[in-house]
């Protein structure tokens, strides 16, 4: 296939085409897209560039400059059809449009309506862009691409506009619904079929900010819960929400950060890096771990009593789980007070060497 205006078919393909299309095949060539006269039946993709993504994910923005990308999503729910399209270029999302179709609309009419709207958008931007892409999900198949289907007048009009674009137009089928553009389009298609009486093309700024922040926190929390790093910190903060709330309202210090991160002056940690001859505690316990230091080391029994009383008064058994402390600022403050008074996590910096004049 050299170019859209010079398409040569195998003899078997010509036989099928001659049965499907009311055209005279004197030569195995078809005229250029701008000169095609549409028949009553679909001419397949003789000139239209059609590709199947095989359910692959595609990016939100096109990587090629001067390219206009349109993602289309439709939804039937409760007898109502909702349609949405997301328009983007290589820099940003340009527009999001969605609308509700009548109750009697078939899937064929919904897709045709979406493609017609997409072609109207392309007509408005033809001077700015050189390439145009339309993405449809796996369940969307335009009837105009089926050779056995007679075209509706609206489909013939859409197809004629597509043909006039020639090789600058590319239609992608079977796009993955998890692609960013498809997710956005699906959201607004679902919004269109909701029971709300007033539909606006865009949410308010505060609503968009709230939804984006909630989604970011959800992604952040999933990554934190499944991370292989920060195991000590995760004992205190199983979720990112508990950390963000607590650290915003409670005072912190270098000693507290040692406690939360696990990178502390305790011998169990220092021995791992060769900074301590033994992981044992000064009290004689074989391993000076964080749990030993906080809950059982006899060297800090008197200082620990206030922490223990605070935990028990909050109906929590002793010794508590580390994740209990972030749940209450009272417990966390009692913990930080114990760390401060014990001075076990306080490093003394060595004196700086005197400068030679």
What is the rounded CA–CA span in Å between residue 163 and residue 29? 16
Q: Are residues 246 and 151 in the same domain?
A: no
285: pLDDT strictly greater than 60: yes
In a domain, 213, yes or no: no
Range picked from 3-7, 29-33, 290-294 for highest mean pLDDT? 290-294
Q: From CA 336, how far away is CA 273, in angstroms rounded?
A: 26
- Model confidence pLDDT, tens digit, residues 159-205: 888 878 888 888 888 888 888 888 888 888 877 665 443 344 445 56
DSSP string, 183-212: HHHHHHHHHHTSS-S---SS--HHHHHHHH
Cα 324 to Cα 199: distance, rounded to the nearest angstrom: 45
Give the per-residue pLDDT at 26: 39
Query: Could you tell me if residue 252 is inside a domain?
Result: yes
**Mean pLDDT, range 313-323, rounded to an integer:** 89
The answer to whether residue 132 scores a pLDDT higher than 90 is: yes
237 and 312 share a domain? yes
Question: Cβ distance 145 to 24 under 8 Å?
Answer: no
Residue 138 has pLDDT above 80, yes or no: no
Mark whether 164 and 60 lie in a shared domain: yes
Residues 179 and 48 in one domain: yes
| pLDDT average, residue stretch 62-66 | 89
Q: How many domains does the chain divide into? A: 2
Question: Average pLDDT of 259-288?
Answer: 88
Residue 142 has pLDDT above 60, yes or no: yes
CATH number, residue 169: 3.30.420.10
CA 60 – CA 71 distance, rounded (Å): 9
Same domain as 186, residue 269: no
State the pTM of this model.
0.45
* Residue at 279 is within a domain: yes
- Kindly state the percentage of the chain with pLDDT values over 90: 15
151/235 same-domain check: no
**Same structural domain, 285 and 332:** yes
What average pLDDT does the chain have?
A: 76
Pair 177, 78 in one domain: yes
The C-alpha atoms of residue 265 and residue 244 are separated, in whole angstroms, by 25
Q: How far apart are CA 334 and CA 260, in angstroms?
A: 15
Buried-state track 12-40, b at ≥16 Cβ within 10 A, e below 16: eeeeebeeebeeeeeeeebeebeebeeee
Q: Rounded to an integer, what distance in angstroms lies between the CA atom of residue 126 and that of residue 113?
A: 20
pLDDT for the residue 344: 87
Give the per-residue pLDDT at 234: 85
- Residue 131 within any structural domain of the chain: yes
- Which of 299, 298, 320 has the alpha carbon at shortest distance from 309? 320
pLDDT in tens, 20-61: 444 334 333 333 333 333 333 344 444 567 777 777 788 888
Mean pLDDT is highest, among 16-25, 105-114, 292-301, for: 292-301
The domain of 238 spans: 231-342
In a domain, 68, yes or no: yes
Residue 19 within a domain: no
307, 177: one domain? no
pLDDT(251) > 80: no
CB 268 within 8 A of CB 288: yes
Answer yes or no: is pLDDT of 244 > 70. Answer: no
Distance in angstroms (rounded) separating the CA atoms of residues 188 and 172: 20
Torsions phi, psi for 171 (to 5 deg): -110, 125
Per-residue model confidence (pLDDT) at position 5: 42
Residue 187 contacts residue 96 (beta carbons within 8 Å): no
Return the beta strands (E) in the chain as ranges. 49-52, 67-77, 80-88, 93-101, 131-137, 169-175
Q: Please write the tens of the pLDDT for every residue from 334-345.
A: 888 898 888 888
Q: b or e along 233-255 (b: 16 or more beta carbons within 10 Å of the residue's beta carbon)?
A: bbbbbbbbebbeebbeeeeeeeb
Does a structural domain hold residue 197? no
Q: What percent of the chain has pLDDT over 70?
A: 72
Please check whether residues 49 and 188 belong to one and the same domain.
Answer: yes
For residues 309, 312, 316, 317, the Cα torsion angle rounded to the nearest 10 degrees is 100
The answer to whether residues 60 and 178 belong to one domain is: yes
Q: Is the residue at 347 inside a domain? A: no
Q: Same domain, yes or no, for 93 and 179?
A: yes
Last-in-domain residue among 192, 212, 245: 192
d(CA 265, CA 257): 11
């Amino acid at each position: 296939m050299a170019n859209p205006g010079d398409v040569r078919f195998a003899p078997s393909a010509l036989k099928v085409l001659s049965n499907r299309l009311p055209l005279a095949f004197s030569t195995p060539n078809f005229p250029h897209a701008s000169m095609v006269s549409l028949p009553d039946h679909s001419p397949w993709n003789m000139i239209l560039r059609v590709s199947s993504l095989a359910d692959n994910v595609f990016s939100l923005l096109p990587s090629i400059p001067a390219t206009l990308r349109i993602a289309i999503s439709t939804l039937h729910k409760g007898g109502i059809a909702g349609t949405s399209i997301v328009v983007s270029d290589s820099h940003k999302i340009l527009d999001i449009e969605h609308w509700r179709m009548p109750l009697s609309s078939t899937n064929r009419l919904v897709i045709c309506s979406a493609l017609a709207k997409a072609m109207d958008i392309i007509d408005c931007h033809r001077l700015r862009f050189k390439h145009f892409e339309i993405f449809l999900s796996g369940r969307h198949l335009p009837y105009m691409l089926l050779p056995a289907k007679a075209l509706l007048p609206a489909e013939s009009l859409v197809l004629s506009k597509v043909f006039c674009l020639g090789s600058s137009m590319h239609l992608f089928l079977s796009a993955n619904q998890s692609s960013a553009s498809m997710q956005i389009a699906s959201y607004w298609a679902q919004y269109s079929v909701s029971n709300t009486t007033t539909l606006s093309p865009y949410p308010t700024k505060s609503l968009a900010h709230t939804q984006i922040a909630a989604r970011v926190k959800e992604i952040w929390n999933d990554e934190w819960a499944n991370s292989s790093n920060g195991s000590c910190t995760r004992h205190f903060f199983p979720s990112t929400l508990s950390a963000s709330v607590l650290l915003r309202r409670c005072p912190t210090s270098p000693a507290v950060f040692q406690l939360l991160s696990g990178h502390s002056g305790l011998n169990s940690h220092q021995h791992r890096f060769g900074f301590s001859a033994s992981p044992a505690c000064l009290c004689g316990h074989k391993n000076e771990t964080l749990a030993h230091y906080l809950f059982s080391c006899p060297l800090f029994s008197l200082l620990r009593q206030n922490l223990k009383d605070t935990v028990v008064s909050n109906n929590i058994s002793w010794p508590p789980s580390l994740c209990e402390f972030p749940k209450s600022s009272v417990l966390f403050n009692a913990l930080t007070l114990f760390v401060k008074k014990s001075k076990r996590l306080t490093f003394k910096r060595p004196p700086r060497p005197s400068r030679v004049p």
